[in-house]
Structures are given as C-alpha cells and as structure tokens.
Amino acid sequence: MHRVVITGLGVVAPNGNTIHKFTNAIKNGESGITYVPRLKELNFGCCIGGISEIDTSSLSSHLKESKLMNLKNTSITYGLTAALEAWLDAGLQPTPELNPADVDTGCIFGSGFTDMELSRFVIDTVNSGNVKMLGPRLAEQMMNSGVSAYIGGMLGLGNHVYSNSAACSTGTESLVMASRSIKHGYAKRMVVGSCDSYSPYTWGMFDSMRVLCRSANETPISGSRPMSKYANGFVPGAGAACMILESLESAIKRKAHIYAEIAGGSICCGGQRQTGTMTAPNSYRVSQCIEEAIVSANEAPANVDLICGHLSSTFADKVEIANWSRALNRSGSEFPFINSLKSMTGHCLSAAGIIESVAAVLQLHHQFIHPNLNCEELNPEILELIDESRIVRTTTQKDISVVMKASFGFGDVNSCIVLKKIKNYGNSLKPC
Amino acid sequence: METPSNLVKIASILKPYIEDHEFQNLKSSDHLVNDLNIDSADLVCVVLDVENSYGIVIEDAAIENIKTVADILTIVESTVDK
C-alpha cells in the first residue's frame, strides 16, 4: 500500500483562473458570480451564474497550433488549462512529442454534460446539409472521454487515461478513484480533475426544475447563500480544476513540494431508497460514506478540524449538516468548522467537487478558513444542530490538520475525501 | 505546374499543423506524416483548408493519394487550371 500525496494544483474557477488568483479570492471572500444578460434574454428565472474566464495563452506552448485552433469544446479547454497549470506546478514537464509515453502516470478527468453549445453547432451544421464542414476534430471533442484524451495527449501519459461521470460528485469521486490507483500500485502518479462548461442549454434544464436561485438577479453576489435562512436555490457555475496525485515515495524521490496527503476516501450510492431519490440523497448512505472515509484514513472523527461541505444553497443544506453531525457524532460547539465555496463560485456542477477540493487543500496548506458568504442570518434548523460559531463567516487563520470534503449528486451518488496536513517533510515525514 | 506562390500558400496552410514551431523551408518533397508529423485527422483539416482557400473541391479518391506536399500542389494546380 502506498500513501498518496498532492504535489500540484490547477484551477479555472469563476473567482480566479489561476491558483494564485483563486487563493487570493477565497482568502478575501471574493465572489465570481455575475449577471448573465443572455439568460434574461432567454426568459430564465435565474439570470446569474459563475462563469470562469478562459485564457488559453499557457496552452499555446504545449499544443499544436492546429489543435488549439480547432478546440471548440469549452469544457476541454477548461480542463486542459487546469491540468497544465497543475502539471507545471508539480515541477513536471510534458513528455516531448518524440519520446515514449510516461507509463507511470495516468489521468482521470471527469465531466457531466458535454459542451451543449458545441452540440448545437453540430446539430445545426448537419441539419443544414453541410456535414462535411464539421471536419475531423469534433468527434474527439464530443466523446465523453474527450477531456482526458486531450490531457493524455498533451502530457504524453501512458498509464490508465479515462473520464468518469457522477453528476455533481464527479470531481471528488475522481480523487478517490485516482487515490486507489496509486495506493494499490497501479500508477505512481495521476492527473485528476473534472470540468463543466457554461451553456444556457445546460442551465436551462435546472432553471426549469426550479432549483436555481431566482431572487438575486439584481444583486448577483448575494444569490449563493449556503446555510442561510434565505437559501432558496443554487446559482449555476462553470469551470475546472486539477490536482496531481502521486505516491509519497515518488514525491520524495523527486523532491516535489507536497501540499497535503489524501489519507482516505469513500464512494457510494444511496440506491434511491429510504430518503434517497434521483435528485435527493439517501441520508443514511451519506453518513455511511463519511464514516467509511474517516475509517479508511485511520482517523478519529474528533480530529476533523474543518468540513468543506457540498452545501449548495438549497433546502438540503440542513439535511447535509444533520448527516455530517450523525456521521461524526459531533454537534453544537463540538462540531468542526464548516464552510461552502459555492457561496463564492456558485455550483459548478461536475466541476464543483474538484474546485472545492482545491480550495480545501489551499486552506489546509496555508492554514486558514475561507468565509462562507451571504449567511448573515443562519438557517434556524441548522442552528438546532450546530453552534453558529462553527459556520465561518470571515477569513480566519487556524491551525488545521484534518479537512473533510464531500460531494453529492443526482443519481443519489456520494463521495468523500479526508485530507491531512503533512508535517516534517523530509527524513521523518509523517502526517500530523 | 508548381509555382513558388502556391508553395508559399500551401506552407501557410500547413504551418499550424506542424508540431515543430521552428520549422521553416518547407520543401515540396516533404512527406506529410514522416517529415511533418501531420496525423490523419489533421490531414482532413488541411484538405478542408485547401478547398476553402482555393475555392475547389478535392475528391475523396484524390485525398487517399496525398502523401507529400508535392501531391497537394499537383491537385491544386490541376484543379485550379480546370
């Protein structure tokens, strides 16, 4: 069994499209949620969102000009950008074009929806009788594994390269799956992440479900309010993030910078039984997922310092808090600190788990807890479970050693990871 | 008939598809796969770009015979001349 550590980070988030910008944003409580005029034109109830800014300048040195020129899928562009930043941050270089593939490194990079704008282009082009104009570079971008295929090619990866999809649990699930590959020796290193792009054709389906926030079109940054008394729907978002995971031996051997250890994790499904449905989690299985993650990390629930929740700013926030409380057997002022990045980014769907996990790693690495915005008045049902001091509302410097991050998605799917700070990096390296 | 201007034009079409950013002095004898590292999907893109650039249609059967820069030039010269 190998221990798994994080040696590189990359992010394209609504409130920061590099690790440097993102770190500053979450420290300062900066929202990336804005008014989206196109949604208003299309008669959406929710006209706000968190749309990550695209900057492909870093890709031009590592992709053929023709490949970049023909890259039409925004999800893949997000994913490539985050993956390249993480790879370089880990002190690695892409395998040169003429070298053999790097057989020690694999990739699991997920997505939820394909780029619906690109789907529309394909449908319109075919329907207009101009199928020839689609060209040869769209099939590879429309396939579900498109993003991992592009990343694998850019970096020259020769181990298991694939894409997962588990709705809003996708990013956190990818971390658990990659950790297992390294833990059991199938790979030394994994490029891990997920992505989701903005499109009214994706967001419209959620708007029609009436699960989006409709009350903040005039004040976009106040729309995402996890744990607030006034939480009334999530704000959609788009982006990607990536982590480089590798075995502790590999990281030490190449003297890599280590951000944190992924000490454990769990994935499960509620089977849409008991309290679970297609769109709501089975609370018993959520609690068990958290419990299994803690056990796999060989950690005591009492040692958890911070929970980076799924907490999407809906009525389900209070249910999630109850599930955490039951799983950790902690409540009131004994409950860990808790926050939700979605208060700044909105809910980035399949990218949410990985973007929020990057935020969790940054908090652990830099020893701070980012604020949970827009919860001046807390949900009273949540306050029946935990003390209000546990819900962090201003940036707080804290000595934190163990952080848990969980994500839940449609299909009643759950995933959870346990992050630990690494102390004494060197000869006597051990988790704190 | 191959003309220098056509070679220059084809070179500008091929440039984004060539991995080596420093590559210069394209020769008509260059093999698209072996020398320029252009894969089969990119070759289709090149054909589309040539068609758009010259306002011509290159038949599927002709595409199969494109191996070198000279082959592209031959198709262009013969089609445009018509």
Question: What domains, with CATH codes, occur in chain B?
Answer: 4-81 (1.10.1200.10)
B19: chain A residues, CB-CB within 8 Å: 64, 97
B21: chain A residues, CB-CB within 8 Å: 65
Chain A interface includes B34 (CB < 8 A): no
What's the fold here for domain A265-421?
Answer: Peroxisomal Thiolase; Chain A, domain 1 (3.40.47)
A69 closest CB neighbour out of B16, B41, B48: B16
Give the model's pLDDT for residue A426. 53
Q: Which two tokens stand for residue A14?
A: 């609504």
Inter-chain residue contact B45 with A136, CB threshold 8 Å: yes
Q: Do the strands A161-162 and A237-247 form a parallel or antiparallel pair, or are they unpaired?
A: unpaired
- Residue written as tokens 């449609």? A410
Per residue in B61-75, pLDDT (tens digit) is 899 899 999 999 999
Count chain A–chain B contacts defined by CB atoms under 8 A.
Answer: 30
Give the model's pLDDT for residue B23. 67
What is the phi/psi pair of residue B31, to 5°?
Answer: -85, 130
B16: chain A residues, CB-CB within 8 Å: 64-66, 69
Q: Tens-digit pLDDT profile for chain A (432 aa)? A: 999 999 999 999 999 999 999 999 999 999 999 999 999 999 999 999 999 999 999 999 898 888 899 999 999 999 999 999 999 999 999 888 778 999 999 999 999 999 999 999 999 999 999 998 898 999 999 999 999 999 999 999 999 999 999 999 999 999 999 999 999 999 999 999 999 999 999 999 999 999 999 999 999 999 999 999 999 999 999 999 999 999 999 999 999 999 999 999 999 999 999 999 999 999 999 999 999 999 999 999 999 999 999 999 999 999 999 999 999 999 999 999 999 999 999 999 999 999 999 999 999 999 999 999 999 999 999 999 999 999 999 999 999 999 999 999 999 999 999 999 997 555 445 443
A137 closest CB neighbour out of B15, B18, B45: B45
Separation of alpha carbons B70 and B77, rounded Å:
10
Domain A4-260 shares a fold with domain A265-421: yes
Specify the 3-state DSSP secondary structure of A250: helix
Inter-chain residue contact B42 with A133, CB threshold 8 Å: no
Beta-carbon contacts of A167 under 8 Å, excluding residues fewer than 6 positions away, are A112, A349, A350, A409, A410, A411, A413
Inter-chain residue contact A65 with B16, CB threshold 8 Å: yes
Separation of alpha carbons A226 and A247, rounded Å:
35
How many other C-beta atoms are found inside a 10 Å radius of the C-beta of residue A257? 14
Give the model's pLDDT for residue A104. 97
Kindly list the domain boundaries of chain A, sorted by start residue: 4-260, 265-421
ipTM score assigned to the predicted complex: 0.74
B17: chain A residues, CB-CB within 8 Å: 64-66
Separation of alpha carbons B42 and B32, rounded Å:
10
Specify the 3-state DSSP secondary structure of B78: helix
B19 closest CB neighbour out of A64, A133, A136: A64
For B55-79, b/e burial (b = at least 16 CB within 10 A) is eeebeeebeeebebbbbbbbbbeeb
Chain B interface includes A399 (CB < 8 A): no
Q: Do the strands A4-12 and A237-247 form a parallel or antiparallel pair, or are they unpaired?
A: antiparallel
Q: What is the CATH number of domain A4-260?
A: 3.40.47.10
Chain A interface includes B70 (CB < 8 A): no
Separation of alpha carbons A325 and A328, rounded Å:
5
- Residue written as tokens 């300048």? A57
In terms of C-beta distances under 8 Å and separation of at least 24 residues, what long-range contacts does B7-14 make, across chains too? B7/B69, B7/B73, B9/B53, B10/B50, B10/B69, B10/B72, B10/B73, B10/B76, B13/B46, B13/B49, B13/B50, B13/B53, B14/B38, B14/B46, B14/B69
Q: Cite the DSSP H helix spans in B1-82.
A: 4-14, 40-54, 60-64, 69-81
Chain B interface includes A136 (CB < 8 A): yes
Element housing A9 (H / E): strand A4-12
Separation of alpha carbons B73 and B9, rounded Å:
10
- Closest by CA to A16, choosing from A390, A323, A382, A362, is A362
Determine the residue type at A63.
Answer: L
Chain B interface includes A142 (CB < 8 A): no
**pTM (2 d.p.):** 0.93
